[in-house]
Structure 1
Amino acid sequence: MEDIVAMPWESIYTALNEKGYALLPQVLSADECRHLSGLYADPDLYRNTINMQRYRFGKGEYKYFNYPLPPTIQVLREMLYTPLAKLANAWMQKLGMDITYPGDHKALVAHCHDHDQPRPTPLILRYEAGGFNTLHQDLYGAVYFPFQVVFVLSQAGKDHEGGEFVLTEQVPRAQSKAEVLQPNQGDALIFTTNFRPVKGSRGYYRATMKHGVSEVKSGVRYSLGIIFHDAA
């Protein structure tokens, strides 16, 4: 695993400010990706399994981890949170929102639990041929953190074809803009959970963002989602 603290955070902040996402190459090794994908088969690790067709979320399956989280996932969640909290607070200030995020992830989790959001949200997603994920936002209650991270555990062109990551941005009184990304195995994509601040003629306004996955044409695609707030 790459040293989270040593990542080029100023460049990451710039990308998040300008585009609402930042791509971090090769954060996880191929062995770490295979290990995390392998966790999918252990039912004791999960609190819930979601069939996406049942809820019209798309086609595929994902599983929410239970507490305690696997060590690698716990470390990633805590280490990524702290530098992102700095930018999260800057965003809230720009938008005039009365929200301050603590510098320590354990404090955010405690705040979630105090507001009846006690269930962990990190998850692994699995798509077979024909699988996809409709555009959505991962909001699970009144308390939310404005960033989340997806780790690509499979290699496009080898393990699967298709299955691109899709981001859309909607600004007031304009059509939506789409970005289509195909990160490599081990890459991490940090992106905004629900909006990013955009500077206009009268100050900052919110550009609403959603994310999803395009259709997997063949093979199997795994990814790990790290959401920092817990669920109701």
Structure 2
Amino acid sequence: MSEKSTKDVYADRVASGDWEAITGEVNEYGGALLPQLLTPEEAEGIRGLYGAGGDTFRTTVDMGRHRFGEGEYRYFNAPYPEPVERLKQALYPRLLPIARDWWEKLGREAVWPDTLDEWLRMCHEAGQVKSTAILLRYGEKDWNALHRDLYGDLVFPLQVVINLNAPGVDHTGGEFLLLEQRPRAQSRGTAFLLPQGHGYLFTTRDRPVRSKRGWSAAPVRHGVSAIRSGQRHTLALVFHDAA
């Protein structure tokens, strides 16, 4: 494969999504299914990195030890493997209009520049210099507690996860969960079983919802339900770096 085609294939997959429909769904529910971003072979390749040594990862987190749930995840070191970097670069300009629209509705200043590289420079200048792309591994009975990936004062309001296994084949259970705390109302939950290689776009911290006063910020947390059998790996793409 030529250098040009290697660079373009991930952007082409991102562009293949119906972004008007994706935007409408994430505006309505706080999450939206994306097209297939990784082939089964590419997903297997990224799964296979989990046991890699050297400089591939900067740290490993035992979720049970920190009471985050059960399972384990590893933060990639930067520079990232090519699929990770290319997908982040291709997704950022698609997510940026949604992020800016949300902050305008909430009366907040949208600080994000036009490119991911510029935004990450802003993070680094603010002391958020640690890489945040994550490879997660769940086994039977593992789960991920409801949480938000904030990491510092500078936050991008959307992020993406990609299931690297085939549900119903490699694992059962392991639904992706969103819990939205709606203003002056009961919380609303959503569960979604992600097809292999597909992305899921969702809210990082909060999002605008209509209220009697116009727009209000609804806090959102995400997690993963218990794995009933097998093993599930997830690639998580966060668009801000960590302090």
User: Which TM-score band applies after superposition, normalised by the shorter structure?
Assistant: over 0.9
1:127–1:221: 8 Å Cα contact kept in structure 2?
A: yes
Residues of 1 paired with 2:219 and 2:53: CA distance?
35
Aligned match of 1:91: 102
The structural deviation recorded for 1:120 is 0.6
**Which of the residues 43, 56, 75 maps onto 1:33?**
43
1:3 is paired with a residue of what secondary structure?
A: helix
Residues of 2 paired with 1:204 and 1:70: CA distance?
39
Residues of 2 paired with 1:175 and 1:203: CA distance?
19
Residues of 2 paired with 1:47 and 1:73: CA distance?
15
Q: How does 1:126-205 map to 2 (within 5 A)?
A: 126-205=137-216
What is the percent sequence identity of the aligned residues?
A: 43
Aligned length: 232
Q: Which moved more, 1:118-127 or 1:92-101?
A: 92-101
**Which of the residues 206, 223, 232 maps onto 2:217?**
206
Tell me the TM-score normalised to structure 2 length. Answer: 0.93
Residues of 2 paired with 1:117 and 1:100: CA distance?
15
The structural deviation recorded for 1:202 is 1.4
Instruction: Report whether the alignment pairs 1:216 with 2:227.
Output: yes
Instruction: Report whether the alignment pairs 1:227 with 2:238.
Output: yes
Uncovered stretches (5+) of structure 2, i.e. residues with no partner:
1-9
Residues of 2 paired with 1:87 and 1:25: CA distance?
17
Instruction: Report whether the alignment pairs 1:15 with 2:25.
Output: yes
Uncovered stretches (5+) of structure 1, i.e. residues with no partner:
none
Aligned-pair RMSD on alpha carbons? 1.1
1:126 is paired with a residue of what secondary structure?
A: strand
- Residue by residue over 1:9-47, the C-alpha shift from the partner in whole angstroms, topping out at 9 and shown as x without a partner, is 111111111111110242211111101111111122000
1:140 is paired with a residue of what secondary structure?
A: coil
2:14 is paired with a residue of what secondary structure?
A: coil
The letter for the 1-side match of 2:76 is: F
Residues of 2 paired with 1:97 and 1:26: CA distance?
33
- Residue by residue over 1:66-94, the C-alpha shift from the partner in whole angstroms, topping out at 9 and shown as x without a partner, is 01111110000111011111111111111
Aligned match of 1:74: 85
Tell me the TM-score normalised to structure 1 length. Answer: 0.97
Residues of 2 paired with 1:175 and 1:7: CA distance?
32
The letter for the 2-side match of 1:19 is: Y
2:135–2:234: 8 Å Cα contact kept in structure 1?
A: yes
2:36 is paired with a residue of what secondary structure?
A: coil
